[in-house]
């Protein structure tokens, strides 16, 4: 069976749901495949370009095909700008059939939202209709966002003749769970969208780390390399006095502090509290005293060439990445097993 996992909006949790389905299906002794036609989280490995999610599934599910074959289109924006007429849908469908051979469950991960890819005729709705793959919608957010976005996505999908398996509501905090079950679920099901699961928030699943920030910012790691796997709980811009900054640093834990490379006073102060990493802007190297202190405390120093405002914007856009570590995969499997009617999706 093929299942196309679609998102009602960016970062709704497609990867978590898909990975959980794959792990549970493999645990039953069945073979699982994976394909993400429109790559949107690119990474270069040994000169080869692939998608981060494809890399994760390749590792976590021990998929035999080469990782670079699990995603296909890496230059969507360029294709729009150049208005190329290549028949990419046929290429995508051929790759999908190739990767599906011998698999009991074929997971197809859609791009960042349900309409992305429409220019190429490769939105999840069009791909689902063309490949005969029913669509699982993953929604997140507040009550109104979940209901409105899910209904809009369902209308879009059905208007293209694709089938919908149902909706999984992801990342629901404890205080919102009752409202989702008693208000959102009936509202969706009254309009023909079956809710197949409500997954609770699991903040420990994919915490942001200094390593992820360093990769996203293309930063130089000047010190504190052993601390690159620290958790980043919040981000603070240190563009004020040291006393003002310390009030913020003491209020929050696991802070990534963005400040100028010439602000030695701010950097030293940050090393005395709960700081996960220092992001130094302007390409200005810090004082050796700061480097030594950060090394001793295993606080990574990330040096970037951009100004503080630009860096803060780029940090805000960084999405936490799910790790293929055993404990993370066990948590993913447990969340989907305990909170989703998953057996109905793999058949």
- Between 271 and 95, the more confident residue is 95
Average of per-residue pLDDT values in the chain: 89
- The residues spanned by each domain of the chain are 2-205+322-344, 210-316
For the question of whether the overall pTM of this predicted structure is more than 0.85, the answer is: no
253/232 Cα distance (integer angstroms): 8
Confidence of residue 84 (pLDDT cuts 50, 70, 90): low
CATH of 210-316 among 1.10.1040.10, 2.30.30.100, 3.40.1390.20, 3.50.50.60: 3.40.1390.20
What pLDDT does residue 85 have? 47
Q: CATH for 2-205+322-344, among 3.30.70.1290, 3.40.50.720, 3.40.50.300, 3.20.20.10?
A: 3.40.50.300
How far is Cα 198 from Cα 283, in angstroms, rounded to an integer? 45
C-alpha span between 12 and 113 (Å, rounded): 9
Going through the chain in order, the beta strands assigned E by DSSP cover: 2-7, 32-38, 42-45, 48-51, 71-73, 105-109, 135-139, 164-172, 195-200, 220-223, 234-237, 255-260, 275-281, 301-303
CA dihedral 283, 289, 293, 294 (to 10 degrees): 10
Mean pLDDT of 99-122: 92
pLDDT at 248: 63
Q: How confident is the model at residue 233 (pLDDT cuts 50, 70, 90)?
A: confident
């Amino acid at each position: 069976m093929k299942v196309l996992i679609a998102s009602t909006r960016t970062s709704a949790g497609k990867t978590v749901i898909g990975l959980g389905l794959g792990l549970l299906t493999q645990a039953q002794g069945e073979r699982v495949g994976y394909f993400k036609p429109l790559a949107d989280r690119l990474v270069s490995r040994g000169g080869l370009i692939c998608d981060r999610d494809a890399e994760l599934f390749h590792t976590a599910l021990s998929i035999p095909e080469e990782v670079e074959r699990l995603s296909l289109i890496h230059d969507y924006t360029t294709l729009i700008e150049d208005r190329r007429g290549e028949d990419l849908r046929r290429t995508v469908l051929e790759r999908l059939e190739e990767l599906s051979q011998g698999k009991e469950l074929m997971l197809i991960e859609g791009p960042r939202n349900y309409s992305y890819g429409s220019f190429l005729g490769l939105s999840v709705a069009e791909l689902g209709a063309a490949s005969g793959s029913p669509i699982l919608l993953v929604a997140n957010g507040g009550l109104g966002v979940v209901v409105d976005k899910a209904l809009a996505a369902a209308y879009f999908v059905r208007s293209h003749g694709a089938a919908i398996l149902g909706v999984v509501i992801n990342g629901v905090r404890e205080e919102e769970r009752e409202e989702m079950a008693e208000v959102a679920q009936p509202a969706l099901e009254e309009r023909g969208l079956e809710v197949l699961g409500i997954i609770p928030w699991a903040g420990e699943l994919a915490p942001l780390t200094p390593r992820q920030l360093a990769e996203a910012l293309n930063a130089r790691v000047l010190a504190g390399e052993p601390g690159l796997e620290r958790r980043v709980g919040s981000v603070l811009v240190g563009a004020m006095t040291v006393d003002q900054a310390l009030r913020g640093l003491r209020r929050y834990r696991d802070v990534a502090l963005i400040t100028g490379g010439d602000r030695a006073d701010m950097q030293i102060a940050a090393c005395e509290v709960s700081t996960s990493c220092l992001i130094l802007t302007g390409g200005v190297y810090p004082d050796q005293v700061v480097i030594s202190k950060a090394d001793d405390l295993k606080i990574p120093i990330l040096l970037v060439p951009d100004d503080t405002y630009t860096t803060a914007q780029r940090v805000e856009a960084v999405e936490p990445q799910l790790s293929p570590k055993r404990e993370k995969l066990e948590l993913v499997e447990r969340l989907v097993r305990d909170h989703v009617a998953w057996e109905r999706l793999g058949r």
